[in-house]
Structure 1
Amino acid sequence: MVRRVATQVHKQASRLLRGEYLKARPAWFQAVLDHPPLPLPARAPPARIGDDRPKKVSSLRPQDPKVLPIIYIEDEIRRQFFRDHPFEAFRPTTLTEGGAIRDEHPIRGKAWIRLRQRGRNPSPEDCILFVVNLHKYHDYSLNQAYITAVAQFRSLRSEHHIATLVGATEAEQHGAQFGLTQTEIIFNKETEALETWAKKREADISAAANRKRWRAIIERHGPISEFTKGREYVRLWKEGVRPDYSPVLTASAMDAAEEDVNFAPPFSEGS
């Protein structure tokens, strides 16, 4: 299909209806006829000089339109707030909306003069909106509004933290038992991981010992003599002295037998 300009779509549809290529009017046809799109601006012809040579038209052509940056004051305040309070970003929150978007809080505008009016445990978004409200409706400068809102936010957070600690202490005094905190759970997981490393090291040591079990282990008895490259062995052979390894092999068995004899229990008188 030939590509059409947006301002000519309804004209093309009219031609298709007259030629009976379209059996019925599209749903948008009458609305476009009632409110036709704006025509495109006409292009200016290139400027020419006396010798009919084209002049440089780079400066005469309109510049390409550029979208201006969209800046909201809430974004600047939010960026500064989380730069000053980075741990507020770790607090759990939900991004899921319910069946309908929640209505705007009734306390707003000039009636909103203190952050406590939105609750004793405000969220970062409440503090950001309070800064904007002070700046718009109470003639505060942006810097002064931010300082005022942050000071109230910190005081409310401190009150909530102290009240939580006192409530937990009172509950423990009355016999309440709380589970492990998230920090303790993480420490326990780290301890378990370190114990697995120790078990792995023990397993590696036992595996290395098993591999060495079948290696030849030579036990030397007596003083270590100087290496003579076999000359001492040949001399003893010529003199008729034969090496005897039986004492070394049977020493352990003989020692065990002597121990059995020495520590044998005496016979009873009736035997």
Structure 2
Amino acid sequence: MAFSQGAKPLRVYKETTQLLRLGILRKEPPWYQVVASVPPSTILIRTAPVEFDSPAQDGPRVMSKKVKKSKRFFRPRHIQYPEDDLRKTFFADHPWELARPRILVEDGGNDNLNHDWSKLQQPGRALDGESVVQRQMWLMEYKELSTSEAYDVARKEFYRLRMRSDIERRIAAEEARSVGAFFGKTHLQVGLELEERALLAWKVKAQEAVARRQQRIEAMASPGSIDTDVTDEEATTDTAGLANATESRPSSIEPPNAQGA
């Protein structure tokens, strides 16, 4: 069943009724009786509220001729949380933290209730920037520290835990190599190899472009050199061809002695 574009809701119901009456549709659609009992609205836009002028002292209210619509009528209300400024400060100082793998599953927003932020490291939770923010909030609320002081305390604890995890990872890699484990190239090594390969390809293209440009400059400096610059092989070939053509051409002029005879 196909209807024209821009069909109105009531028109869909009327056309369906006509198709059922003509026998084109043998069975009513599941929504047919529902639409018949509760017809859809024909106005699908939101109307602006009516505004009135301030009432006069000795007169009734007068309706305003111009209805003003607010520019933010359909915009949601801006919601600001205290943690937003702390997150902005932390990730501005540590932008590489955003490049670390993260779990995209959203939590319920009650980290301060589900975890004890009297310490930064939480069991079952990865250490990230959000841990620093929640720890800073806890220090500001329970230790009554200022924003900068709480940030310094939480940041130093974060650095200490990061260094400890890096040391543990290096020790684990050394132990694995000592028993015969082999690790491939790191992401930095692979990136450097790809960069060097791209630079070499660009160097070859740049040299070819410089050579072509130098040839154009030389050609423009001496225009006649293109016509006079002929190789010896081509000159020899042209001379030999001219000689052969001269020998094979029949002579139409007889010598004078032959005419007298």
TM-score norm. by structure 1 comes to 0.47
With a CA cutoff of 8 Å and minimum separation of 6, indicate the structure with the bigger relative contact order: 1
TM-score norm. by structure 2 comes to 0.48
